[in-house]
């Protein structure tokens, strides 16, 4: 499943569990586009710690969306577990020029999210 939250006007918190499929992508991209349209910038926090896998089209679609908007993404943090997801994040990060910060521990991820929320 995919749950989207907006804890601050320019912050999107995506919580993914199970196996990510393309069915989720249109809603994710629409939410991100809405944030950019309203605020001109976005901070992305993807909590994928409980994600068990993903279809490669999902990574490609999210990466392709991010490329032309790279200068409007003010933060990009991903909480993950597992080697397969880590490898996919590495591939996406290389394609985007390095904006993604991958985290393997929840306290660091949550601390960075709290700092971003304090910047409102």
Over residues 28-73, the pLDDT tens digits come to: 999 999 999 999 999 999 999 999 999 999 999 999 999 999 999 9
Task: Give the whole-angstrom CA distance, residue 22 versus residue 45.
Answer: 19
User: In this predicted structure, what is the pLDDT of residue 19?
Assistant: 95
- Percentage of the chain modeled with pLDDT above 70: 99
3-class DSSP state of 43: strand
pLDDT in tens, 76-88: 999 999 888 999 9
**pLDDT for residue 39:** 97
- What SS3 state is found at 77? strand
Q: pTM for this structure?
A: 0.96
| Residue spans of beta strands (DSSP E) within the chain | 2-8, 11-20, 42-54, 73-80, 101-103
> Are 46 and 54 in contact, with CB atoms under 8 Å apart?
no
pLDDT tens-digit readout, 80-111: 998 889 999 999 999 999 999 999 999 999 99
Among 81, 27, 22, 83, residue whose Cα is nearest residue 54: 22
């Amino acid at each position: 499943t995919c749950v989207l939250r907006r804890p601050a006007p320019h912050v999107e918190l995506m919580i993914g569990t199970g196996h990510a499929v393309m069915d989720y992508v249109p809603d994710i991209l629409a939410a991100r586009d809405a944030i950019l349209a309203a605020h001109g910038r976005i901070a992305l926090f993807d909590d994928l710690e409980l994600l068990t896998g993903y279809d490669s089209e999902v990574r490609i679609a999210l990466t392709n969306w991010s490329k032309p908007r790279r200068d409007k993404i003010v933060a990009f943090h991903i909480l993950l577990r597992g080697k397969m997801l880590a490898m996919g994040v590495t591939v996406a990060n290389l394609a985007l020029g390095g904006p993604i910060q991958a985290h393997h521990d929840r306290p660091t991820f949550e601390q960075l999210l709290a700092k971003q929320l304090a910047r409102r």
